[in-house]
Every structure is written in C-alpha cells, then in structure tokens.
C-alpha cells in the first residue's frame, strides 16, 4: 500500500570547527535547545537531558529534548570541536534555518545539512 501523505521531516546537521568551550558546557547546550525551540516555534516537553557519555576518544556530551512534535538529539565531540544534531518533527520547519541558527550558536566554521521528508 502506497502512503501518499507526509508524516513529518527530519534533518541532520554536522557542525565543524565549533567553539571548544561550548562543546563541553552543558548549560550552553541547554540554552541552545531553548533558543532553537523559540526560533522555530516548537514547544519543549520536559527537561533537556544532557549527559557525558562514552569512553576514550568517544567520550563527550549528548543531549535529548522531547518536543511536542517529536525530538531534538545532539552529540558533541570536544576532541575536534564537532556537533551532530538531529531534529525530527511532524511540524514543518526550515532545515536551513535550523542549520544556520546552530552554526551561529556554536560558532562553527562549517555546517553540513541533510534533510528529508518522513512518509
């Protein structure tokens, strides 16, 4: 059976050359989520979870924020100052706008984005 309606959209943003201090600052990560949700007019549901996870070169912060229309997830690599952000939502948003907001917030030199519709 072919589904003809769009369920939502998903985007993945890779940031490179981020501000090193922001890559290891849980308060800044929470501020980022608050700012992003305000910027794209999405309502947070519950607290932003930020935890330091992993071992060795894979150790770093991860965050998760439920939003009323789905989730925001991010992983931070403080060794080489990268951030990997995923946003899925049934509410429409501009992936380019999310990428630019994220790039500016984390003071990244470069942002790469991939987005697609969920069907």
CATH 3.40.50.10440 assigned to domain 8-118? The reply is no
Tokens standing for 26? 């849980």
Distance between CA 55 and CA 89 in Å, rounded? 31
Sheet arrangement for strand 70-77: 49-53, 60-67, 70-77, 82-89, 8-16, 110-118
Tokens standing for 43? 């309502």
pTM of the model: 0.91
The pLDDT tens digits of the residues spanning 76-108 come to 999 999 999 999 999 999 999 999 999 999 999
Q: Where are the domains of the chain?
A: 8-118
Please report which confidence band the pLDDT of residue 4 belongs to, taking 50, 70 and 90 as the band edges: low
Distance between CA 11 and CA 42 in Å, rounded? 15
Distance between CA 42 and CA 67 in Å, rounded? 7
């Amino acid at each position: 059976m072919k589904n003809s309606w769009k369920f939502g959209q998903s985007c993945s943003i890779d940031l490179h050359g981020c501000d090193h201090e922001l890559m290891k600052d849980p308060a800044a990560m929470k501020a980022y989520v608050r700012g992003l949700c305000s910027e794209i007019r999405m309502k947070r549901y519950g607290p932003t979870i930020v935890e330091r996870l992993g071992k060795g070169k894979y150790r770093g912060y991860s965050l998760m924020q439920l939003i009323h229309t789905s989730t925001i997830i991010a992983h931070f690599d403080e060794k080489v100052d990268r951030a990997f952000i995923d946003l899925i939502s049934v509410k429409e948003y501009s992936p380019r706008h999310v990428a630019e907001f994220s790039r500016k917030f984390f003071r990244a030199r470069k942002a790469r984005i991939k987005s697609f519709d969920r069907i």
